[in-house]
């Protein structure tokens, strides 16, 4: 069995002690080689362009040029690098802006280091799989713009994951899919396409809509019937992100 790949990474953060901690922990995991560091957005662009890493781990609040300004320039200079924002800002404040600028994921700095490494590896492994082989054909459900579609999504996820014998993740997958479908129905005012992909060790769920506007992050309200969406996805999934498919916006997660 082949050894798992080692990913080349750049860490961009103005806090030198945090860069050192991340370097030590990421390299100790055996999955990362730190090939560059940066203390501001301009350095992040330059270093990423020079070493062309697999991953750029990017803070937002930095001097000279902040991470949000640097992010699209990094993606333009090195489209192959996966940019993950690691920020002190709460997700409900900044995640939608970072994702719209091209971030593959948004993580807050108080995340458990083991969970951080797990999410980074999952994102990069998924990126490798997408480049190296055809994606598995998804199970798909088209959902019209009506509130009953959220319940249909939940039943569909439970049915398909039951057929795939993925009982361990069916509750989380059904909850998150329902929340994202509800978000699309209520906020994007759009019909939804729900896609389920069976990967080797996890399940990938994609919720695609064609509504106008950027993704919307909201503070969870347990007394509300509205979807709590991306914040729950951040807490419960192994990896998540956004992409586009023609005219559709996609939020995806893996469990």
Topology, domain 7-132 = Rossmann fold (3.40.50)
- Measuring CA to CA, how many Å separate 244 from each of 11, 75, 205, 247, 248? 26, 15, 14, 7, 6
Q: What is the pLDDT of residue 212?
A: 64
Task: Indicate the fold that domain 139-254 takes in CATH.
Answer: Heat Shock Protein 90 (3.30.565)
pLDDT for 133: 45
Q: How far is residue 171's CA from residue 176's CA, in Å, rounded to a whole number?
A: 9
Q: State residue 246's pLDDT score.
A: 59
> 82 with 128: CB under 8 angstroms?
no
Residue 176 corresponds to which tokens in the numbers above? 């998150």
Measure the CA–CA gap between 161 and 106, rounded to whole angstroms: 27
Domain boundaries, the chain: 7-132, 139-254
User: Which tens digits make up the pLDDT trace of 9-58?
Assistant: 999 999 999 999 999 999 999 999 999 999 999 999 999 999 999 999 99
- 102, 71 in Cβ contact below 8 A? yes
Residue 135: per-residue pLDDT: 54
For residue 114, name the pLDDT band (cuts at 50, 70, 90): confident
pLDDT digits (tens, 9 = 90+) for 177-223: 998 898 888 877 888 999 998 877 788 898 888 876 545 444 444 44
Q: For residue 82, what is the enclosing H or E element?
A: strand 82-87
Sign of CA dihedral 95, 99, 102, 104: positive
Q: Give the tens place of pLDDT for each residue, 77-106.
A: 998 899 999 888 766 667 778 877 888 888
Task: Tell me the mean pLDDT in the region 232-255.
Answer: 74
**Separation between Cα atoms, residue 63 and residue 59, nearest integer Å:** 11
d(CA 24, CA 37): 13
What is the predicted pLDDT for the residue at 244?
63
CB 60 within 8 A of CB 98: yes
Predicted model pTM:
0.61
Of 95-104, 156-165, 166-175, 212-221, which gets the smallest average pLDDT? 212-221
Predicted local distance difference test score (pLDDT) of residue 223: 46
Report CA dihedral (128, 6, 14, 116) to the nearest 10 degrees: 70
């Amino acid at each position: 069995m082949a050894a798992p790949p080692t990913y080349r990474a750049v860490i961009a953060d103005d806090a030198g002690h945090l860069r050192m901690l991340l370097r030590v922990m990421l390299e100790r995991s055996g999955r990362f080689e730190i090939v560059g560091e940066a203390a501001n957005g301009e350095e992040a662009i330059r270093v990423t362009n020079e070493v062309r890493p697999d991953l750029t781990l990017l803070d937002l609040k930095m001097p000279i040029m902040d991470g949000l300004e640097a992010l699209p320039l990094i993606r333009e200079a090195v489209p192959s690098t996966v940019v993950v924002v690691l920020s002190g800002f709460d997700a409900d404040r900044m995640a939608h802006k970072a994702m719209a600028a091209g971030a593959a994921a948004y993580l807050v700095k108080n995340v458990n280091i083991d969970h951080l490494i797990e999410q980074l590896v999952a994102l990069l492994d998924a990126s490798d799989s997408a480049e190296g082989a055809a994606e598995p054909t998804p199970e798909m459900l088209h959902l019209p713009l009506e509130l009953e579609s959220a319940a249909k999504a939940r039943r569909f996820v439970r049915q398909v994951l039951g057929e795939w014998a993925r009982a361990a993740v069916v509750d989380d997958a059904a909850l998150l899919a329902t929340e994202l479908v509800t978000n699309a129905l209520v906020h994007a005012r759009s019909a939804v396409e729900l896609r389920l992909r069976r990967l080797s060790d996890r399940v990938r769920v994609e919720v695609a809509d064609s509504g106008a506007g950027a993704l919307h992050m909201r503070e969870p309200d347990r007394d509300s019937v509205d979807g709590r969406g991306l914040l729950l996805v951040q807490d419960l999934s192994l990896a998540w992100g956004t992409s586009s498919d023609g005219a559709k916006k996609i939020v995806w997660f893996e469990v």
